[in-house]
Structure 1
Amino acid sequence: MTTTLILGGAAPAATGYVHDICARALAQLRARGSRIVLTDLAGNLDSSPELTRLADDVAALDFTDAERCVEWATAYAAEYRIDAVLAFREYAVVAAAEVAAALGLPGNPPEAVRRVRLKDACREHLRGHGFRQPTLRLCADGREAEAFHRQVGGAVVVKPRSGSSSEGVERVDDPDQMPAAFARACDADGVALVETFVDGPEFSVEGIMAAGRPRVLAVTAKQVSAESFVECGHTMPAPIGAAATEAVTAEVERALDALEVRHGLFHVECWLTADGVVLGEVHVRQGGDWIHAMVEWIHPGLELYGAWLDDLLGRPVDPPTAPRRGAAARFVTVPEGTVAGIDRWEEVASRSDLLAAELTLRVGSRTRAVSSNLERYGVLVVGTASAAAAGPLADRLLASVDIRLAPPAPLMREACGVR
């Protein structure tokens, strides 16, 4: 029997796709006969007993503290054998790499993982290896960011250096607006990344490493809000034709090799522009937003986390490459107001062709304009037998749900300047 250590592997059911990732992974590891050591923050463990019951050993551990994780795992491994280390969360991947290295187990080199976690370091590394990248600068204050904007001209994007879920990401067209945008994006160290805006349709690439080589499982088309960088939908596989799919796939595979990624799952963002593929952010984990479930749906029989473990243990892994079905996710976003009514949600959510359906709104809920992926109000995820059918079906289903907002009261109209 093998033993798998999971860093950050528990989550309450209310977290939706995060909980589903943990549940799928634990079930797939258990089916392979692996003994499971589950660690996470104490609150996550306490709120997900259905997950902790699947583990053989459970310990409270902060997966964002790589040094503490290495200390704990080293002490644990002195008494009990550990064969593999897995992490599903963005903020746990550094700790997983450090622990695997400390225990002499297969894993991504810690320096490679730290590089991809820092957007500017990753971009400059890729640029140095000949990949197209936006022009960028890591800025220490709003004045530096404004000066850089004036230097490069046009639209720029300001974002946190190592964030996720589109939090703090903002397009800025006027350099005079940069100091305020910088203040919203800067991290605890007081820095933020500013880069030139890339014009073109956005995609993400999902895959798994097998015997040290990247194997792309899907190219996903993104729907992104025109007002922000919030992702409103995903369609898998992307309806872009064989030539474009092959171009994106080849560029991502070359980039992962240049970044020295050798194990696990990957989720790489990119754009298709008039000049070719421009790579975006690289993640050494599965995609969020139910992408993991969509990947398994379009490849019947694929078990992402079981295959990941097999690769770490040196077992042969031959993942599929040609999707056999289609999947799509569409997210619920509404403007600011108060929910007055919701119609047809129950009818839509009960359909047999849905992989997931979530809605956090109720009559009386107060809403606001969505500014990050963490603020969306729900999702519909469909799975279809035909690859081409998924996107149109998801669009129709979301459009059929009627979420009505109450009109503002007269005094509020006057106060807001509405006539």
Structure 2
Amino acid sequence: MTPPSLLLVGGAGPAPLGIDVAVMAIEQARARGLAVHLIGHAEDLAVTRDAVDLADTAEAVDFENPEAAVAWALDRSRRGEGFDAVFTCRELALPATARIAEALELPGNSHEVIDLIRSKADCRRRLADEGFPQPASHPCTSAAQALRLLEDSPGPWVVKPRMGSGSEGVSLVSSAAGLSRALGHLPPESGQDFLVESYVSGAEYSVEGLFRSGEPQVLAITAKEKLPPPFFVEQAHTLPAPLPPPLRRQIEETVTDALRVLGLSHGLFHTELWVTEDGIILGEVHARLGGDYIHRLLAHAIEGLEMFGEVYDDSLGRDTPAGPRGCARAGATRYFSPPPGRLRGVHGWQEATRHPAVLAAELAVAPGERVTAADESDGRAGALAVGAADPEQARALAIRLTDGVRFDIEPEETP
């Protein structure tokens, strides 16, 4: 009997985190007897062998071109090599994944919904129209237009690309004089097409979950910590966030209501928000798992959780765990933030990574390389993810272990 087949669109990203996520996703598919077929960019397939070698097949397909990806999938189907489920771990592959699911009549989110949530301005507008508090958001097509906004409204403001993830191109502007720097920080593909939003001050969280039979199910709320402005790079996560039960329920209800309004109904979700003096203000919504080793924290905190496998089971009409599940344990991730300069060496790494509570470890720089101040998620020097009995212990352990790793930096001369 031919086993059910899963198409994993985008495969693994080339960074250690992307590979780790894809490996977990593929392992949970194989544990359910699924044949895994992976498509990705040729250059990614070459450097993500840990994931590629777990799949049954891997083929180079331009998944960032949804039309080309759909044509490839339809051709496979016509040759009798179709798929029973389609999934992605990657933000950039969400449009192609949605269109492939529609073309092959497989469960998934519609491409209209994916396009809506990936357009930050459109998603903001839809949620605001439905009564969800949002930061004031203004699409701009020129520096002059943005400058007029800054002159007409109280700051501070946030300048960001209309699409994207990982804090790429996002920066704080405290005065009109800082606009030029912020526009120069935008990714080149943004061009003269960006957003100016009001800055929200408050404790920041994200909500992690999955859909079961079309309904959102919250798995955990994550507390977030960020490096100092002007950039919005995340430095640490603690899961579950230590929150009073009434606030936790309010956050869960707000997020699940928002997901229903947006029309999401399949896969995983990661929704960001602030808790302010005026209440809950929603941030960005993603139809994917959160980054920064949240997948490892969730797997440790919730006994028996296989989030990717549950998405596959839901797609195939198989039984999935019923009812909400709480976190019996906790986890925390903390990123290193060494000063800029030339790296001479790293001390204490082996001692830190040998700790039995470490769930994942990543070192993104090597001796001789230049360390820069992180202005987006991909620019961070590395991280440790740990598990513990409760959130306070997890956060404290993550701090202690990362503080024990010393980066020997040769400062660069200031011009």
TM range (shorter): over 0.9
Does 1:256 find its partner at 2:259? yes
Distance 1:58 1:229 in 2: 35
CA contact (8 A) 1:335 1:370 kept: no
Task: Give the partner amino acid of 1:388.
Answer: E
Deviations 1:287-307 (A, max 9, x none): 111111111111121111110
Shift, 1:340, TM fit: 4.2
When residues 343 and 45 of structure 1 are mapped into structure 2, their CA distance, relative to the original with a 3 A threshold, is closer
CA contact (8 A) 2:12 2:89 kept: no
Aligned to 1:57: 57
Q: Following TM superposition, where does structure 1 have runs of at least 4 consecutive aligned residues deviating by more than 6 angstroms?
A: none
Shift, 1:176, TM fit: 2.8
Unaligned runs of 5+ in 1: none
CA contact (8 A) 2:8 2:39 kept: yes
Aligned to 2:127: 126
CA contact (8 A) 1:145 1:179 kept: no
Does 1:336 find its partner at 2:337? no
Does 1:276 find its partner at 2:246? no
Aligned to 1:216: 218
What does 1:298-309 correspond to in 2, within 5 Å?
A: 298-309=301-312
When residues 58 and 400 of structure 1 are mapped into structure 2, their CA distance, relative to the original with a 3 A threshold, is closer
Distance 1:244 1:327 in 2: 20
When residues 10 and 136 of structure 1 are mapped into structure 2, their CA distance, relative to the original with a 3 A threshold, is closer
CA contact (8 A) 1:334 1:370 kept: no
Aligned to 2:24: 24
Deviations 1:354-413 (A, max 9, x none): 0011223444432221111110001010011334310111111112222233356xxx4x
CA contact (8 A) 2:233 2:375 kept: yes
Deviations 1:303-359 (A, max 9, x none): 111101011112232265310111000001122223345332211111111001122
When residues 381 and 117 of structure 1 are mapped into structure 2, their CA distance, relative to the original with a 3 A threshold, is same
CA contact (8 A) 2:73 2:82 kept: no
Deviations 1:209-246 (A, max 9, x none): 01111101110001111122010000000112212211
TM, length-normalised to structure 1: 0.94
Task: Give the partner amino acid of 1:220.
Answer: T
Shift, 1:141, TM fit: 0.6
CA contact (8 A) 1:142 1:180 kept: no
What does 1:319-334 correspond to in 2, within 5 Å?
A: 320-334=324-338
Aligned to 1:4: 6
Does 1:380 find its partner at 2:384? yes
Task: Give the partner amino acid of 1:197.
Answer: Y
CA contact (8 A) 1:142 1:183 kept: no
| SS of aligned partner of 1:71 | helix
Aligned to 2:40: 40
Distance 1:312 1:171 in 2: 41
Q: 1:312 aligns with which of 312, 315, 320?
A: 315
Unaligned runs of 5+ in 2: none
When residues 180 and 52 of structure 1 are mapped into structure 2, their CA distance, relative to the original with a 3 A threshold, is closer
Aligned-pair Cα RMSD in Å: 1.6
Distance 2:365 2:20 in 1: 21
TM, length-normalised to structure 2: 0.95
Task: Give the partner amino acid of 2:31.
Answer: A
| SS of aligned partner of 1:204 | strand
Identical columns (%): 38
Aligned to 2:118: 117
What does 1:16-415 correspond to in 2, within 5 Å?
A: 16-78=16-78, 79-185=80-186, 187-227=189-229, 228-318=231-321, 320-406=324-410, 412=413
| SS of aligned partner of 1:316 | coil
Shift, 1:11, TM fit: 4.2
Number of residue pairs matched by the alignment: 409
Distance 1:11 1:173 in 2: 34
Task: Give the partner amino acid of 1:391.
Answer: R
Instruction: Return 206-215 or 147-156, whichever deviates more.
Output: 147-156
CA contact (8 A) 2:94 2:114 kept: yes
